[in-house]
Amino acid sequence: MTDPSFLAPLFRRWGKRTFLSEADIQALQSLPWTVRAFERDSYLIREGDSPPDCRLLLQGFACRHKIVRDGARQIVSIHIPSEFVDLQNCLLPESDHSVQALTRGEMGSVPKAALMEVAEANPKIGRAMWWDTLIDSSVFREWVVNVGRRDARSRIAHLICELAARMEACGLGDNGSYDFPLTQEKLADATGLTPVHTNRVLQSLRKDELISLSFQSLKVLDWERLRQVGEFSDRYLHQAA
Amino acid sequence: MTDPSFLAPLFRRWGKRTFLSEADIQALQSLPWTVRAFERDSYLIREGDSPPDCRLLLQGFACRHKIVRDGARQIVSIHIPSEFVDLQNCLLPESDHSVQALTRGEMGSVPKAALMEVAEANPKIGRAMWWDTLIDSSVFREWVVNVGRRDARSRIAHLICELAARMEACGLGDNGSYDFPLTQEKLADATGLTPVHTNRVLQSLRKDELISLSFQSLKVLDWERLRQVGEFSDRYLHQAA
DNA sequence: CGTATTGTTGAGCGTAGTCAAAGTTAGTGG
DNA sequence: CCACTAACTTTGACTACGCTCAACAATACG
C-alpha cells in the first residue's frame, strides 16, 4: 500500500459536508491505490474505453471533452485536485467521453470493484461519491445554460468565476490569484466559441480591468463586476459554507 | 398505501439493466407514495426550493430549466414517464433549477428520507438510483456539446433523435411515431436558438422529408439521414440492449 | 538559439437573431 | 355547435454577433 496521505485533500473536501469516521477513512486508505504522474495533454481516458479503475486527480488539472464529426471539440468540464474525473465509470461500463490532462500532474487510481465494495460497506463514502457525481451534474446543467443562452462575454466571465470559486473552496487561490490551466484555444472549446473571438473577449475584459490573465495565471481584479458580467451565482456548486 | 402498480414502468426500465429481487420491489412499493395529477406548464419544483419529496414521472412529460437574467430560458433536459425528475434532491438540499410540466400528467411523490433508507438497505435500489443520475449526467454532457458545437440544423435533429431513442426504449414509440411534447418555442429553449430560427429549421427538415412534425406528433421519416444530420449516436444514453 | 505553440490583428462573411405582422390551431365558454 | 380568444406557427426585411481565413508577433521549451 502506498502512503495514503495523498488522500488528505479528498477527505478535507468531503469533510466539509459530512463527518467521516475513522473507519470510513481507514477503509478508503486501505484500498490498493496506485499513484501515477501524467504529462500535459495526455489522455487519462478515451471515449469508448471501459477502464477497470477510477481515477482521482491529486495534482494538476484535467478536462472532459467530446469530439464532434468535423473535428471540433467541446470541453464539458474542468477538474481540479481532489476531484474524481470518472466516478461514473464505477457503474457505467463504457466511457461516453474522454478525459485529458490540461497540465502536468498526478493521479491516484483504484480498482472500481474495490471502491464500490467500500462504498457499499460504508454508506457515508457511498453517499460522498454519489454526491460528487450530483455536483458534476449540476455543473453540467449550468454549462448547458452558459453555452446555450449567454453571449460570448458572459460565457467567458462565467467560466472564470466558476473556476475561481471552486479553486478558492479547495484552498487553491491566493488573494484573488489563481492558476489558470486553459489556453485561449481550450477556453474557446469550453465556451463553444472560436479562439479568435475568445481572444477579443479576453482583451475586452482586461481593458475593463475585470481580470488580468496571462500565461496560465489569472487575477480577478473586480469580483463584483465580473460576477455581474458572467451572471454568476455559486448556488449550483452546492459548496458547503 | 396506494395501489403500487404505478411503479411497474420504473421496474421495467430498471429491470433491463439489473435483476431486482422481490424484496427490492416490495421495499419500494411499501413506501408512502402519493400520486398526483398536474397541469401543463405547472411547476413541479422551483429553483431554490428544498422539497422534502422525490418525484417520479408516471404520465406526461416534464423538463428542467433555468432562467438567465434577461429572462431567457434554457431547458437542460426533458423527461419521459418512468423517470425521476429530481433524484438529486435526495442529497442536495436546495434545488438549483426548476422542473416544469410540458404536458398534463401524473407523478408519484415519496419522502426523500424514506427513499434513502430503502436505497441504503437495498443496495440494488441505491445503485439503480445512482445509475439514473449518472445517465442524467451523461445526457447533460451531450447537451453541452449539442448547444456548444453543432449548428442549428444538427442541434434540432440531435434532440429529436434523442427523444425518439429514449421513448422507443420505454415502449413509447409506435413504428417511428412519437408524442412530441415540445412547442417550437420550447424546442428553441432546449437548443439555445430562437423560435423563429427553430421554425425555419423545422421547415427545412420537413422539406427534406426527414421528419413530419405537427401539433405534438412526430414521425421520423428517415432515421438514417436524421441520425447523420444530428450526428447522433446513442452511446451516451447507456441503454441496456 | 531555433522551433512549435500560443496569442494578436484585420478584413470580410454568414448563421442566427430581432422585430413586426399575419395566419393558423386549440381551448373555452356561451 | 359556434364564436371568441389565447397560444402557437409562419413569413419577410433587416441586423449583428461571432466565424473564417490569413498573416504576424510573442512566448515557452528543448
The full DSSP string for B92-108 is -SS-SSEEEESSSEEEE
Residue B50 confidence (pLDDT) above 80:
yes
Q: Nearest residue (Cα to C1') for D12?
A: B196
Residue B215 confidence (pLDDT) above 80:
no
Taking an 8 Å cut-off on Cβ atoms, the answer to whether B145 and A236 are in contact is no
User: What is the model's pLDDT at position A174?
Assistant: 83
Helix, strand, coil percentages (3-state) for chain A, rounded to 5, are 45, 20, 30
Confidence at A241, pLDDT banded by 50, 70, 90: low
Average pLDDT over residues A120-124: 93
Residue B2 confidence (pLDDT) above 60:
no
Report CA(A145)–C1'(C27) in Å, whole number: 33
Residue B1 confidence (pLDDT) above 50:
no
Average pLDDT over residues B180-197: 97
Residue A137 confidence (pLDDT) above 70:
yes
Amino acid at A165: A
Q: Rounded to whole angstroms, how far apart are CA atoms B66 and A149? A: 10
Reading the block at residue B134, the C-alpha cell is 449518472
Q: Rounded to whole angstroms, how far apart are CA atoms A129 and A114? A: 14
Using the Cβ of B69 and the Cβ atoms of chain A, whether some distance falls under 8 Å is answered with yes
Condensed to tens digits (0 to 9), the pLDDT of residues B121-153 reads 999 999 999 999 999 999 999 999 999 999 999
Residue A187 confidence (pLDDT) above 90:
yes
Using the Cβ of B130 and the Cβ atoms of chain A, whether some distance falls under 8 Å is answered with yes
Set of chain A residues whose Cβ sits within 8 Å of the Cβ of B192: 147-149
User: What is the model's pLDDT at position A99?
Assistant: 97
Using the Cβ of B194 and the Cβ atoms of chain A, whether some distance falls under 8 Å is answered with no
Asked if B104 CB < 7 A from strand D, the reply is no
| Closest among B50, B150, B149, B146 to B163, alpha carbons compared | B146
Q: Rounded to whole angstroms, how far apart are CA atoms A192 and B70? A: 20
Q: Rounded to whole angstroms, how far apart are CA atoms A235 and B92? A: 11
Taking an 8 Å cut-off on Cβ atoms, the answer to whether A133 and B138 are in contact is no
Mean of the per-residue pLDDT values of chain B:
94
Confidence at A3, pLDDT banded by 50, 70, 90: low
Report CA(B217)–C1'(C17) in Å, whole number: 28
The B residues from 162 to 191 touching A (CB cutoff 8 Å) are 191
The A residues from 26 to 65 touching B (CB cutoff 8 Å) are 48, 64
Amino acid at A149: R
Percent of chain A topping pLDDT 70: 98
Q: Rounded to whole angstroms, how far apart are CA atoms A133 and A124? A: 14
Residue A1 confidence (pLDDT) above 60:
no
Q: Rounded to whole angstroms, how far apart are CA atoms B74 and B189? A: 5
Q: Rounded to whole angstroms, how far apart are CA atoms A78 and A83? A: 10
Question: Chain A: nearest CA to B36, how far in angstroms?
Answer: 26
Set of chain B residues whose Cβ sits within 8 Å of the Cβ of A149: 68, 72-74, 192
Asked if A174 CB < 7 A from strand D, the reply is no
Q: Which helix (H) or strand (E) holds A87?
A: none
Most A CBs within 10 A among B131, B133, B137, B229, hence the mutation to make, goes to B137
Collect all residues with Cβ–Cβ distance below 8 Å to A60 and sequence separation of at least 6: A38, A81, A101, A102, A103, A104, A105, A106, A181
With cell 433549477, the residue in question is: B97
Q: Which helix (H) or strand (E) holds A69?
A: none
Residue A83 confidence (pLDDT) above 50:
yes
Which nucleotides in chain D lie closer than 7 A to a protein CB?
7-13, 17-22, 27-28
Confidence at A173, pLDDT banded by 50, 70, 90: confident
Asked if B196 CB < 7 A from strand D, the reply is yes
Collect all residues with Cβ–Cβ distance below 8 Å to B47 and sequence separation of at least 6: B66, B67, B95, B96, B97, B98
Residue A150 confidence (pLDDT) above 80:
yes
CB of B139 closer than 8 Å to CB of B237: yes
Question: Poorest-confidence range of A92-96, A197-201, B198-202, B237-241?
Answer: B237-241
Confidence at A175, pLDDT banded by 50, 70, 90: confident
Positions of E strands within chain A = 34-38, 43-45, 53-59, 62-67, 73-79, 98-101, 105-111, 177-179, 211-214, 217-220
Mean of the per-residue pLDDT values of chain A:
94
Residue A36 confidence (pLDDT) above 80:
yes
Average pLDDT over residues A84-104: 95
Positions of E strands within B166-225 = 177-179, 211-214, 217-220
Q: Rounded to whole angstroms, how far apart are CA atoms A228 and A84? A: 30
Taking an 8 Å cut-off on Cβ atoms, the answer to whether B144 and A142 are in contact is no
Report CA(A153)–C1'(C7) in Å, whole number: 18
Identity of the residue in A68, A94, A126 whose CB atom sits nearest the CB atom of B145: A68
Reading the block at residue B159, the C-alpha cell is 434532440
With cell 449516436, the residue in question is: B233
Q: Rounded to whole angstroms, how far apart are CA atoms B56 and A194? A: 40
User: What is the model's pLDDT at position A94?
Assistant: 94
Report CA(A210)–C1'(C13) in Å, whole number: 31
User: What is the model's pLDDT at position B241?
Assistant: 66
- Residue B233: count of CB within 10 angstroms of its CB: 13
Q: How far is CA B19 from CA B12, B14, B125, B127, in A?
A: 10, 8, 10, 12
Taking an 8 Å cut-off on Cβ atoms, the answer to whether B96 and A142 are in contact is yes
Report CA(B218)–C1'(D11) in Å, whole number: 23
